[in-house]
Structure 1
Amino acid sequence: MPYNRYLDIGSKCELHGVTAHFVDSDYKMHKRILNFCVIDSHKWESIGNLLENCLIDWGHEKILTITADNAATNTKAIEYVRKKINGWKDSNRVLGGVHMHMRCGAHIINLIVKEGLKRLESSIVAICNAVKFVRSSPSWLSYFKMCVETEKIKCKGLVVMDVPTRWNSTYLMLDAALKFRKTFDRMGDDPDSSYLMYFKEDEGDGERIEGIEGSGKGKGKSKTNKRVGPPSDEDWEKAVTFVMFLKTFYDVTLKISASLHPTSHSTFHDLLAIDGEIQELYRYDVTIPIEERTTMDTLLNDMTASMKKKYDKYWGEIHEVNPFLTIGVVIDPQFKLRNLKHIFEEIFENDPTCERLVAQKTNEVKQLLMNMYEVYKPSSNNMGATSTTNESGGSTNNETDSSLVFGGLDRYLLDPLESIDEEFDILGWWRINGLKYPTLASIAKDVLAIPTSTIASESCFSTSGRVIDSFLSSLSPRMVEALICSQNWIRFEDISLLQYVPSIEEMEFYESIEIEMGSKTSTTNLNKTLPS
C-alpha cells in the first residue's frame, strides 16, 4: 500500500493519534487517521508500543519519516520503532530509518517566539487587558464602536482575544489591536470613562504576571490584583516593532502546517528566512553606538539574542536539520542541486573554510540522493523481471555501471531550471515530467509527502461539533476511535481512487459472515411466526 511511509503523531490530553501521509499515483496529497486511542502515559515506552502496534495492525513496514514534537520521549520512541522495523524479516526499510525523526517545525517556532515574548510580557499583558475590556460586556463593546466611529477608523474587523498558550493568537491579537490604537487612546483620554475605571478595579482572579514591573508582584512587593494597563505609548511602540518582526514567523507557521499541498520542499527556505529575520534585527542593534541606544534598542537586542540562542539549539547547525529537507530542495525543479549549493554559499559566507564546507555539504546531499536512488530504482527483485530499463533510455541486464544507473538523476540535475514562482505547482510538475525521470519521481512523491508539522494531524482530531453527546457518553475508546477514523476517511472524496482487491481468504471470510447473518435472520423470522 502506498501510504505506509510518512507518519505524524498528534496528541490531545491523554489521547494520541497517528496519521499517515502519502501522494497517490495521480500526484495528489492524502492524509488518513490510522489510530486514535487513549494512552497509559507519555513515557517513550508507551508511545513506542502504540506506534509499533499501529504499524503491525496496518501491515506497514516502509516508513520514511515520523513527525513529532521535539520531546525526549518522542525521540526515544521513534528510535525504538526504527530498531523494531529494522529487525523485521524482509522489512522494506529506507536507508535503515536513520533520518526517520522529522521534528515538528511549528513546535520549534513556538519555542523560539516565546523567548521573544518574555521580553515584552508587560506590554503584551497591558494590551491584552485593553482588549479584554472591549470584550467584557455589550455596553463596553458599544462604547468602543462609538469611539471607532468618532476616530473615523475604517476597519471592518474588531479586536480579538488571544490564547496565552498559542503565540500565533497573541500575534493576531496585537495586530488587530494596533489598528484601533487611536480608539484606545481616546477612551484613555476621558478621565470618567469606564475604560480607565476598568484598570483601577481588582482583577478578580488574583492571577498576576510574576516579576512584571507595575504588576505589584515583583520581588519584595506586596501582592495586588490591579490590572496591568492601560497600554502606554511605549507599550504600543513595542507592539508595532514586534508585530512586524513576528509576521515572518506567523507566515512560516501557516506554510509548514498545510496538509493539502507539500511543505517539505520549502521548509528549508523557511528556516533560513526565520534565521535571517533574527539576524537582521540583531545586526541593526549592533550598528547603534551603546551611548545612543534607547530602551527599545536594548530590549530588541536582548530579545533577538535569546531567540537566536533558541534557534541555534535546534537549527543552528546544518547537521541538526533533517537531511530530507535538503533533498526536498533538490527535487524542486526551481532549485535542484546547483541552487542548493548557492544557498550553502550564503550560509557559510563568513566562514574562512567556506569553499570546503560548501563542497562537503553539497556532496553529502548528492550522496544521500544517490543512496535513495539505489533503493528506489527498479530491480529484478521487486519488479519480477530479470531486465530493467534505465533512465538514460537504454535496456540493461542487471547493469551495475554507475553512469547508467544514475543517468536519470544526472540528466535531471543538468536539465534547465524552472522559473521561480510562488504559485509553482511542484506536484503538477512531477505528474507531467514523472515519466521522464521515473525513479526520481518515486523519490519525489515520498519526500513531498513528508509533513513538517504535527498541526495538520492534531487538527484532524478537533472535529466539528460534539463527537460524543454528554447524555450518551458510554462509548468505549475503541468505538470512539472507529468514529474518528471513519469520519476522516469518508470525508475524503479521493478515497475512491485507492483500488483495493480483497484476497481469496478475505472473500471467504465475508461470505461466511453473510451466511451466518442470513441464518440468524431466518431463525428470528421463523420464531416470530410460530405460535406461542
Structure 2
Amino acid sequence: MLCSYLNLIVQSGMKVIDASVLKVRETVNYIAGSDNRLVLFEKCVVDSKSNFVGKLLIDCATRWNSTYQMLKRALEAKDALNLFAIVDTSFDFGLSADEWNVVDFVCKFLEPFYNITVMFSGSDYPTANLYFRNIVAIEKLLVVAHTHTVASIQSMATVMMEKFEKYWSDYSILLAIAVLLDPRYKMHFVKAALGKLYVHAEVEVKVQEIYNTFVELYKFYDQSTSSSTVTSLQCSTSTTDYSMSSMFEDFEGGDMSVGGAESSVDSYLNSPLVPRNTESFNILEFWKSQASTFPVISRMAKDVLAVPITSVASESSFSMGGRVLTKYRSALRIDNVEAFVTTQNWLYGYLKDDEFRSVLRL
C-alpha cells in the first residue's frame, strides 16, 4: 500500500501546481503538435549549443511521475527552449528566469518521491530496512518546502503534508525496527534521523519506545521454539526519515548505550557499525552469517526484513502496456512489440540505461 499512499500524497500536491509548470506543459504540447515546430526546436538545440539529447516528453496530467519526467527533460533543454521562444513569433509560453527557477525546484522536490516510488515498486522487492529512512526523507522534504518563498510551493507542501499525516501519522513500529536490524545504521541512525525532525525530548521518548519494542520482540523470539513471523506485536508511532544523500552526510556511528543490563540486544546494538560504503553489502547474507553469534536476532531479522514494503507490483505503478498493446495492436508479434517500444530511441538517440528504463515505466 505504501506506493499507493505515496502516489495519493503527490497527486494531491500536483492539484495546486505552480503556473510555471503549466507553461512547461503547454510548451511541450505546442512543439510536439507540429512537425515544423519539431524541426525548428531541433535547430534551436544545435544553435544554442545545448547538450540536450533525445526528445521532449509529454506528460499525463493525472500521473505525477510523467510530469516529473517532463520537467526533467525540459530543464535539460532549457537553453534550446529559451531560443525557441525568441525564434517562433507565435509562441506565447516562454518562461522567465524566475519561472525556470520554480520549475527547477519543483523538479528537485519531486525527484526523491519518484526515486523512492521506483525503488519501492521495483521488481527486486527491497527489504524492509529501507522503509524507515525513506519515509522520514519524505516528511523532511515537506517540512522544508513549507519555508519556500513561492506561495504556490508552500500551498503544495501544505496539501501534501495533510495527506502525509492522514496516512502515516500512525504506522507499524515493526517496520521502524527494521532499520535497527541494519548493521550499517542501527540505533545511531534512528536517533540522528529523528533529531532532524523533533526536539531532543521527543527524540528520546521515540528512541526509547523503539528500543523497548525491540527488546519485547527479542524476548518473544527468545521464548519461542519456532521462527514464525510475528504479526501481532505492532505499535504505532510517528517516526520518519530523510534521504541518505544529503540529510545524513554528517551521520557517524559510535558507542550508544540505550538499554539497561548487558544482553544480546545491547551487545548487538553497541557493536561497531558495518561500513556504509560497502556496495556489495547484502543484509540477508549478513544475518545468515550471524546466526551463530546472534541466533535470536538473526531469526528476528529473517522475519522482519521479509515484511513487504508495498503490495503494488511494478507493472501496476509505471506500466506502459496500455500504450503498446491496445485493441488495435493486440495481435503484434513479440519482436514487433519490442521494436515498437524502442523505435523512439532509434529516432531520437539513446538515453542512459537508467533513464531509458524510467521512461518505459511512464
- Would you say same fold, with TM above 0.5? yes
Pick closer, same or farther for the CA change 1:175–1:329 going to 2, 3 Å.
same
Aligned-partner Cα distance in 2 for 1:339–1:460: 30
Pair 1:236 & 2:133 matched: no
Aligned equivalent of 2:268, options 393, 398, 412: 412
Indicate the residue corresponding to 2:213 in structure 1. 364
> Cα–Cα, structure 1 residues 432 and 245, in superposed 2: closer, same or farther, change >3 Å?
same
Residues 437 and 460 from structure 1, CA distance in 2 versus in 1: closer, same or farther, beyond 3 angstroms? farther
**TM-aligned CA deviation for residue 189 of structure 1:** 1.7
Distance 2:160 2:287 in 1: 38
Q: What does residue range 126-205 of structure 1 map to in structure 2 within 5 Å?
A: 126-190=23-87, 192=89, 196=91
Counterparts of 1:68-79 in structure 2, within 5 Å, are: none
Matched, 1:260 2:124: yes
Could you tell me which residue of structure 2 aligns to residue 448 of structure 1?
A: 305
What is the one-letter code of the residue matched to 1:106? C
1:462 to 1:145, Cα distance in 2 relative to 1, 3 A: closer
- The residue that corresponds to 1:349 in the other structure is 199
| Cα distance in 1, alignment partners of residues 286 and 132 from structure 2 | 20
Note if contact 1:376-1:442 (Cα within 8 Å) is conserved in structure 2: no
Distance in 1 (alpha carbons) for counterparts of 2:164 and 2:203 = 22
Is the partner of 2:299 in helix, strand or coil? helix
**Contact 1:129/1:230 (<8 A) preserved:** no
Note if contact 2:184-2:274 (Cα within 8 Å) is conserved in structure 1.
yes
Structure with a larger share of its residues in strand: 1
Q: Give the one of 118, 131, 148 matched to 2:15.
A: 118
Q: Does 1:436 align with 2:293?
A: yes
The alignment's TM-score, normalised by the length of structure 1, stands at 0.49
CA contact (8 A) 1:263 1:452 kept: yes
Cα pair 1:106 1:256 within 8 Å, conserved: yes
Cα deviations across residues 28-62 of structure 1 (Å, max 9, x unaligned)?
A: xxxxxxxxxxxxxxxxxxxxxxxxxxxxxxxxxxx
- Whether the 8 Å CA contact 1:378–1:439 is kept in 2: the answer is no
SS in 1 for 2:60: coil
For residue 481 of structure 1, what is the aligned residue in structure 2? none
Q: 2:126, 2:309 within 8 Å by CA — same for their partners in 1?
A: no
Aligned residue runs from structure 1 range 5-84, under 5 A? none
Does residue 329 of the first structure (1) align with residue 185 of the second (2)?
Answer: no
Rounded to whole Å, the distance in 2 between the matches of 1:445 and 1:258 is 21
Q: Does the aligned pair in 1 maintain the 2:186–2:269 contact within 8 Å?
A: yes
Deviation at 1:272, TM superposition (A): 0.9
* CA distance in structure 2 between the aligned counterparts of 1:329 and 1:108, rounded to whole angstroms: 21
Query: In 1, Cα distance between the equivalents of 2:320 and 2:60?
Result: 19
The change in CA–CA distance for 1:342 and 1:191 in structure 2 (over 3 A counts) is closer
Q: Is the 1:112–1:310 contact (alpha carbons within 8 Å) kept by the matching residues of 2? A: yes
| CA-atom RMSD in angstroms | 3.5
Say if 1:436 and 1:308 are closer, same or farther in 2 by CA, change over 3 A. same
Distance 1:446 1:147 in 2: 56
* Structure-1 separation of matches of 2:183 and 2:60: 40
Larger Rg: 1
Match runs of 1:373-388 below 5 Å: 373-375=222-224, 377=226
Query: How much does 1:233 deviate?
Result: 4.7
What one-letter code is carried by the residue in structure 2 that aligns with 1:297? V
Question: Is there any run of 5+ residues in structure 2 with no aligned partner, and where?
Answer: 229-261, 332-362
Using the alignment, how far apart are the partners of 1:378 and 1:454 within structure 2?
A: 23
Distance 1:418 1:242, change over 3 A: same
180 and 348 in structure 1: CA distance in 2 versus 1, 3 angstrom threshold: closer
TM-score (norm 2): 0.69
Q: Match for residue 302 of structure 1?
A: 155
1:425 aligns with 2:322: no
Match of 2:353 in 1: none
Alpha-carbon contact 1:147-1:187 (below 8 Å) kept = yes
Residues 82 and 94 in structure 2, CA contact (< 8 A), matched pair in contact too: no
1:314 to 2:163 alignment: no
Partner of 1:386: none
Paired positions, count:
295
Q: Deviations over 1:303-354 (max 9, x none)?
A: 2222222222222x3xx12222112112111123454345445544255x55
Flag the structure with more relative contact order, 1 or 2, with Cα contacts below 8 A and sequence separation at least 6. 2
Q: CA deviation at 1:270?
A: 0.6
Q: CA deviation at 1:176?
A: 0.5
Contact 1:256/1:263 (<8 A) preserved? no
For residues 408-438 of structure 1, the C-alpha deviation after alignment (integer angstroms, 9 at most, x for no partner) is: 5554334332122373321232233334334
Give per-residue Cα distances to partners, 1:253-305, cap 9 Å, x unaligned.
222223325231011101111111222232x44xxxxxxxxxx5322322222
Residue 500 of structure 1 aligns with which residue?
none
SS at match of 1:128: helix
- TM-superposed CA distance for 1:177, in Å, is 0.5
Distance 1:421 1:358, change over 3 A: same
CA distance in 2: counterparts of 1:422 and 1:165, whole angstroms: 39
SS in 2 for 1:329: coil
Query: Match of 2:134, as an amino acid?
Result: D
Report the alpha carbon displacement of residue 192 of structure 1 after superposing the two structures with TM.
4.0
Query: What SS is found at the alignment partner of 2:61?
Result: coil
Q: Which amino acid aligns with 1:184?
A: L
> Which residue of the other structure, out of 258, 266, 280, is the alignment partner of 2:144?
280
Q: Deviations over 1:155-192 (max 9, x none)?
A: 22321121222211111110111121222222222354
Residue matched to 1:385: none
Q: 1:362 is aligned with what amino acid?
A: Y
Matched residue type, 1:275:
E
The alpha carbon displacement at 1:146 in A equals: 0.8
